[in-house]
Amino acid sequence: MDPQAIGDARSPGRRPLPARRLAGVLDPVIPRVGAWLRQRPDALSLAQGMVNWSPPAAVAEAVQAALAAGDGSAVLHRYGPMEGDEELLEAVRIELQAHHGLDLEGTALLVTAGSNMAFNALAQVILDPGDEVILPLPWYFNHVMAVQLAAGVPVGVPAGLVPDPERLAAAITPRTRAIVTVSPANPSGVVIPGDVLAAINQLCAERGLFHISDEAYAAFVHGSVPHQPPGQIRGSGSHTITLHSLSKAYGMAGWRLGHAAVPRQLLAGLAQVQDTVMICPPRITQRAALAALAAGPAWIAPRVASLVERRALVLEAVASGQSQGLPITLPIVPDGAFYALLSCETPLSGEALVERLVIDHGVAALPGEAFGLGGGESRSLLRLSYGMLEPPLLGEALVRLLVGLRKLLG
Ligand SMILES: Cc1ncc(COP(=O)(O)O)c(C=O)c1O
Choice between 70 and 285, residue whose per-residue pLDDT is larger: 285
Query: pLDDT tier at 1 (50, 70, 90 boundaries)?
Result: very low
Atom 2 of ligand 1, residue of closest alpha carbon: 216
Task: Give the Cα separation of 349 and 354 in Å (integer).
Answer: 9
The alpha carbon torsion through 146, 195, 105, 102 (nearest 10 deg) reads 80
Strand partners, 110: 260
Q: How far is the CA of 245 from the centre of ligand 1 (A)?
A: 7
Of 349, 350, 348, 331, nearest to 340 by C-alpha is 331
- pLDDT-based confidence at residue 3 (cuts at 50, 70, 90): very low
Determine the atom of ligand 1 nearest the C-alpha atom of 117: 11
The per-residue pLDDT for range 228-271, each reduced to its tens digit, is: 999 999 999 999 999 999 999 999 999 999 999 999 999 999 99
Spacing, Cα 410 to ligand 1 middle (Å): 35
pLDDT at residue 401 greater than cutoff 80: yes
Q: Which of 116, 243, 255 to mutate for ligand 1's pocket (most ligand atoms within 8 Å of CB)?
A: 116
CB 245 near ligand 1, within 6 Å? yes
Quick check: 339 and 187 in contact, CB under 8 A? yes
182 CB near ligand 1 (under 6 Å) = yes
Asked if residue 173 has pLDDT above 60, the reply is yes
Q: Identify which of 186, 246, 250, 385 to mutate to test ligand 1's pocket (most ligand atoms within 8 A of the CB).
A: 186
- pTM value is 0.96
Quote the ligand 1 centre to 216 CA distance (angstroms).
6
Residue type, 233: I
- Written as one string, the DSSP assignment of 60-119 is HHHHHHHHHTGGGGGGGGS---TT--HHHHHHHHHIIIIIT----TTEEEEEESSHHHHH
Task: Write out pLDDT tens, residues 136-149.
Answer: 999 999 999 999 99
The whole-angstrom separation of Cα 352 and Cα 357 is: 9
Query: What is the 242 CA–ligand 1 centroid distance (Å)?
Result: 13
SS3 371: helix
Ligand 1 touching residue 258 (CB < 6 A): yes
- Beta-ladder partners of 111: 259
* CA 324 to ligand 1 centroid distance, Å: 36
Ligand 1 centroid–CA 250 distance in Å is: 13
Cα dist from 72 to 69, 290, 407, whole Å: 5, 17, 62
Per-residue pLDDT at 153: 98
Summarised one tens digit per residue, pLDDT across range 19-41 is 999 999 998 888 899 999 999 99
Q: Quick check: CB of 51 below 6 Å from ligand 1? A: no
